[in-house]
Amino acid sequence: MVYKGKIKTSKKRRVCRFSGCEQILSVYNPEVYCHVHQQFAMMQIASAPLIAR
């Protein structure tokens, strides 16, 4: 089967912003990370003040 632009995809295909991760994000996912790295990023943010101290 060949799809020729007939499919309504999202404007842009988004992938996880975590470097090295090529997980494609769902159109319904408003986050910039995949579900795995989303937690990862949150942990980093949570621990950032401790590191900065």
Q: Which stretches of the chain bind Zn ion, using CB under 5 A?
A: 16, 18, 21, 23, 34, 37
Q: Which of 37, 29, 36, 35 is nearest to 13 (CA)?
A: 29
Least spacing, CB of residue 20 vs Zn ion, in Å: 8
Q: Which is nearer to Zn ion, 2 or 37 (CB)?
A: 37
Quick one: how far is CA 35 from the chain centroid? 7
Q: How far apart are CA 43 and CA 32, in angstroms?
A: 15
**Cβ nearer to Zn ion, comparing 20 with 49:** 20
Q: How far is the CB of 53 from Zn ion (least distance, A)?
A: 28
